[in-house]
């Protein structure tokens, strides 16, 4: 340790400090803390801020300073110049340089005032380049007669290169999380319709062990008299799966404009996926629920494509799984889908679920449909919202903290 120079100590500290952080702001503040005072007395990190189109600044005298500044296309000095060219700048600021002139380089009057108070100061502006792109600028300043000599500049560039990789990884991780969130929202309706005669409830819980977008989806269409509900799952994870999920959901929506029969809708979905040879399959349940006339019970026509049948919870407490089956969509063209019909009386609920519920696993034991059939009689007549919440809670208790796949539940209750 005694033989190491201060810059070498700074580089080692940066390596240790940046390991394991995937939070962009925390990574930035960790970097700023690690370089002081061994490498610099003052530091600022500037990165493009996508929402505003400006630059997000972190650092300054307090290290926790954060701000967003505008960018000027007319200015190619200081930070803007380094961002554009990817080349470092080294400038000594003495008492003759005004705060206004310093500000043209840093693009922020508050930071310019800070540097003005530190004069004379040696300023090194470095590009943060990772994976072939300049993603930000690292501004370092030395005071009290310290200068950035050739060796120190080399060490500072090593620190900047290591920091750029850490910051870029954190940025990509956060972007991935935002993308996953946005895509997940598009796979399900933003809100469920308010109906007369029926109530609809849903629950969705993403897998906890990754940020990949899952393929669970559901949708609710139609009117009080003719309600269309669908729930499905696309095999796989990630953006490709999300794209296929959106396609499946939209195909079902489009098919309902021509024929609302469950077998015809699933046949349309299967034909589209097989024709396009997507290389993946989709499981789905589709139900058409129509209000009964002249006091007759409502009727639900249900078809399945490789998906477990829904569970019918009678208001009386009787529970059964609807016997309906069919091959997953996208596997083989021209296969038939044969619907089943059930009657829904007042207080009856039809519950759909994805395999994340049925296949929830603890110590190699599946949660399974039999457990569902066992717990559901206690919630007979309680309505879809209560039933979905009860199932989700029971699955999580069964898992006891173990990881799980995406889980989706969709329930429709006959209210008259």
CATH topology of domain 187-414: Phosphatase 2c; domain 1 (3.60.40)
Residue pair 193/200 in contact (Cβ under 8 Å)? The answer is yes
Structure tokens at 235: 């095999």
pLDDT single digits (tens) 32-49: 888 888 889 999 888 877
Q: How far apart are CA 53 and CA 86, in angstroms?
A: 19
Torsion, Cα of 219, 220, 222, 226 (10° steps): 120
DSSP per residue, 333-365: TT-----EEEEE-TT-EEEEE-HHHHT-EETTE
pLDDT single digits (tens) 139-163: 999 998 889 999 999 999 999 998 8
DSSP per residue, 103-166: HHHHS-HHHHHHHHHH-SEEEEEEEEEETTEEEEEEEEEE-TT----HHHHHHHHHHHHHHHHH
Q: Where, residue-wise, is CATH 3.30.450.40 in the chain? A: 6-181
> pLDDT over 90 for what percent of the chain?
43
Q: What is the mean pLDDT of residues 248-256?
A: 92
CATH topology of domain 6-181: Beta-Lactamase (3.30.450)
Q: How far apart are CA 322 and CA 262, in angstroms?
A: 15
The residues pairing with 193 across neighbouring beta strands, listed in sequence order, are none
pLDDT single digits (tens) 216-243: 889 999 888 899 999 999 876 666 777 7
CB-hemisphere CA count at 13 Å for 105?
Answer: 23
> pLDDT over 70 for what percent of the chain?
82
Q: Check pLDDT > 80 for residue 105.
A: no
pTM (predicted TM-score): 0.63
Report residue 242: phi and psi, to 5°.
-60, -40
Q: Where, residue-wise, is CATH 3.60.40.10 in the chain? A: 187-414
């Amino acid at each position: 340790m005694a033989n190491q120079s201060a810059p070498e100590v700074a580089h080692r500290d940066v390596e240790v400090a940046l390991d394991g952080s995937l939070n962009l702001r925390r990574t930035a503040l960790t970097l700023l803390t690690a370089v002081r005072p061994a490498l610099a007395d003052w530091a600022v990190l500037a990165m493009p801020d996508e929402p505003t189109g400006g630059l997000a600044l972190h650092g300054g005298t307090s290290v926790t300073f954060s701000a967003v500044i505008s960018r000027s296309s007319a200015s190619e000095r200081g930070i803007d110049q380094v961002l554009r060219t990817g080349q470092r700048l080294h400038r000594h600021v003495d008492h003759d340089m005004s705060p206004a002139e310093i500000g043209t380089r840093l693009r922020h009057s508050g930071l310019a005032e800070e540097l003005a108070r530190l004069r004379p100061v040696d300023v090194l502006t470095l590009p943060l380049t990772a994976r072939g792109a300049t993603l930000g600028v690292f501004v370092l300043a030395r005071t009290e007669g310290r200068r950035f000599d050739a060796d120190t500049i080399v060490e500072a560039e090593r620190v900047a290169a290591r920091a750029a990789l850490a910051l870029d990884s954190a940025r990509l991780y956060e972007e991935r999380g935002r993308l996953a969130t946005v895509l997940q929202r598009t796979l399900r309706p933003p809100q469920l319709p308010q109906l007369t005669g029926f109530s609809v409830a849903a629950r969705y819980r993403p897998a906890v062990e990754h940020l990949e977008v899952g393929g669970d989806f559901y949708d609710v269409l139609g009117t009080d008299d003719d309600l269309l509900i669908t729930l499905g799952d696309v095999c796989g994870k990630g953006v490709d799966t999300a794209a296929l999920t959106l396609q499946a959901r939209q195909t079902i929506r489009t098919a309902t404009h021509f024929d609302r029969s469950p077998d015809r809708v699933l046949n349309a979905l299967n034909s589209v996926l097989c024709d396009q040879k997507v290389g993946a399959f989709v499981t789905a349940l589709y139900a058409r629920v129509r209000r009964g006339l002249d006091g007759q019970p409502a009727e639900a026509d249900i078809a399945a494509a490789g998906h477990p049948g829904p569970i019918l919870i009678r208001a009386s407490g009787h529970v059964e799984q609807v016997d309906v089956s069919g091959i997953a969509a996208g596997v083989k063209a021209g296969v038939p889908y044969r619907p089943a019909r059930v009657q829904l009386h007042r207080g009856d609920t039809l519950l759909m679920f994805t395999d994340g519920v049925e296949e929830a696993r603890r110590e190699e034991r599946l949660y399974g449909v039999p457990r569902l059939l066992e717990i559901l009689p206690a919630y007979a007549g309680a309505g879809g919202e209560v039933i979905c919440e009860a199932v989700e809670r029971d699955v999580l208790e069964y898992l006891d903290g173990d990881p799980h796949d995406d889980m989706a539940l969709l329930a429709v209750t006959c209210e008259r």
